[in-house]
């Protein structure tokens, strides 16, 4: 895996951490069925895409550390595969070194 793919994987982990904070703020009201808006978790430089989904849907995607939500066409086939197509976005699953990177980033953000 080249340095660009490593950077993309790390950037995606940062977007997910930001989205987790958005999700936590929304869930403080106790409404997991309410739509929230999160950032596209792709690794494209300059992407500011917004994805609408419920907090419960977002939580379900991230029950696996190597899964992310991205806009259609924003998937990186070199480091991830599409596992679900949903209304307005895709769920992608990392593989190889990218998977290792995002799992380490997730563990670090949880303090493990």
Encode pLDDT of 76-93 as tens digits. 999 899 999 999 999 999
pTM: 0.74
Is-contact 16 80, C-beta < 8 A? no
| Both tokens assigned to 17 | 């951490």
Encode pLDDT of 23-63 as tens digits. 776 666 666 677 888 889 988 888 989 999 988 898 899 88
Domain assignment of residue 48, given as a range: 3-109
Q: Which helix (H) or strand (E) holds 90?
A: strand 89-94
The count of structural domains within the chain is 1
SS3 53: strand
| Both tokens assigned to 108 | 């670090």
In sequence order, what are the residues at sequence separation of 6 or more whose Cβ sits closer than 8 angstroms to the Cβ of residue 111? none
Report the C-alpha gap between 33 and 109 in whole angstroms.
Answer: 25
């Amino acid at each position: 895996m080249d340095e660009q793919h490593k950077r993309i994987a790390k950037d995606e982990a940062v977007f997910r951490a930001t989205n987790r904070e958005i999700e936590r703020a929304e869930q403080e009201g106790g409404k997991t069925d309410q739509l929230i808006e999160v950032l596209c978790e792709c690794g494209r430089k300059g992407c500011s895409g917004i994805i609408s989904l419920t907090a419960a849907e977002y939580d379900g995607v991230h029950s696996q550390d190597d899964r992310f939500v991205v806009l259609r066409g924003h998937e990186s086939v070199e480091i991830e595969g599409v596992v679900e197509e949903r209304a307005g976005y895709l769920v992608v699953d990392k593989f190889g070194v990218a998977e290792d990177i995002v799992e380490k980033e997730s563990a670090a953000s949880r303090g493990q």
